[in-house]
Amino acid sequence: MAPGIPAAMDRPHFIGIGGAGMSGIAKILAQRGAAVAGSDARESATVLALREAGATVHIGHAAEHLAADATSVVVSSAIRADNPELAAAAERGIPVVHRSDALAALMDGARPIAVAGTHGKTTTTSMLAVALTTLGLDPSYAIGGDLDAPGSNARHGAGEIFVAEADESDRSFHKYAPEVAIILNVELDHHANYASMEEIYESFETFVARVRPGGTLVVSADHPGARELTSRLAGRADVQVVTYGEAEDADVRVFKINQRGLTSEVTVTLANGKVLTFTVSVPGRHYALNAVAALAAGTALGLPPHNLASALGSYTGVKRRLQLKGEAKGVQVIDSYAHHPTEMTADLEAIRGAAAGSRVLVVFQPHLFSRTQELGREMGQALALADASVVLDIYPAREDPIPGVTSDMIVKAAEAAGATVTAEHDKAAIPEVIAGMAGPGDLVLTMGAGDVTELGPEILARLDA
């Protein structure tokens, strides 16, 4: 077995290999020399990138796709029990490995930084990956989104640092043992898996308990949920807790965030009292704070703060996180992955700050019936920050419909909050609808975690026509 390939992972088969988390692990294994195979529901740019990395990828799910010599089958929490490839693995006695266990095994022997929180994980992980690469440290990383090209969400590096996004949604972040853990915020989400805020706190406490003795927890001093979590961790003497943010008692304190168009200038006081000013090349207060979390984490690993701060400026965004898709007839189209009310509000405030008086129009696609049921009212309230919004039907992802839960809940809440909003049940009609609404100088946001991202190029083409 090649060095760096965990046991039973030399010929793995990934069910749903094109997913954000799965594709990254598959890519790292392929780069380490494993014979990677898998299946996905459809062709995609990610599938193509995996094939170029040497993986064998089948389209569709069928028992015969599972190779005779497969040594393990890797699944995520989204894979249903009746999947034919999973059934075939059970019949043949092939070990089934959860995505989080595979990632944990890849981090063995490294110095891991695990980035957790209800929002901002992908951005903060990406900032660290880019900054550490810029400094020549050749990190490994696994991110929940692409940095630039499809398939750029993960890499096997020769350096000792491994940066990974730590997902709380299915409690899989309990599998990791980081040297440095970041907790950006703690909020109630993932309603299919967590019944209460208390369960969320318990889950994050379990994650913190996995930090290696002598390691560091970097945690927000601003976010109420994060502060509550920190107060519950008082007994953990073998882990250094470093708080960051605008709060007066933060160890790494943010004094000033000056937004300048699509960039921000951030001034912080470090734990040693030194003052540092650096540039963040993406708009919005929340992204500036993500960069400060990344700065605190890298400093905890012993990296010089000034060098790290300068390198953080080389991060210019990740796909779907306020990504400019293009401009046509004076209208800019921007893609946003925001799907939780807090994220929606943060991205809309960031765009408002950069818009300089231009109109902000939103095409919003709710993600998951369970999330809409719990947070639909707050989603509607967030849309009141836009000048006008169009709301699509709920993107179900892995869920079955919930009776009575539709996107109309969001439309009504938005109207009650004073928003200009319309419902559109035909996604194919959106380019025509937006072409009728948008004029020169306007900013159009396609927003949501589902296939709404596909609309950006279609809107631009229609505007050009």
Q: Which of 290, 327, 157, 178 is nearest to 240 (CA)?
A: 178
* H or E element at residue 20: helix 20-31
Three-state SS at 324 = strand
Residue 225 counted as an annotated binding residue: no
Q: 329 labelled as ligand-binding?
A: no
Is 245 in contact with 221 (CB distance < 8 Å)?
Answer: yes
Q: Tell me how crowded residue 261 is: count the other CB atoms within 10 A of its CB.
A: 10
Tell whether residue 279 is among the known ligand binding residues: no
Strand, helix or coil at 460?
helix
- Tokens 């229609």 belong to 462
40, β-bridge pairs: 59
- The CA distance from 137 to 174, in Å, is 27
299 CB neighbour count, 10 Å cutoff: 21
According to the annotation, is 119 in a ligand binding site? Answer: yes
How wide is the angle at C-alpha 183 spanned by C-alphas 324 and 127, nearest 5°? 35
Kind and range of the H or E element at 277? strand 275-280
Which positions are catalytic? 121-122, 165
Task: Give residue for tokens 């010599």.
Answer: 69
Q: Is 340 annotated as a binding residue?
A: no
> What is the spatial distance between Cα 120 and Cα 168, in angstroms, rounded to a whole number?
12
Residue 439 CA to its chain's centroid (Å): 31
Residue 277 labelled as part of a binding site: no
Q: Are 41 and 16 in contact (CB under 8 A)?
A: yes
Question: How many CB atoms are closer than 10 A to CB 426?
Answer: 10
Q: From CA 18, how far away is CA 220, in angstroms rounded? A: 32
Binding site for ATP, residues? 117-123
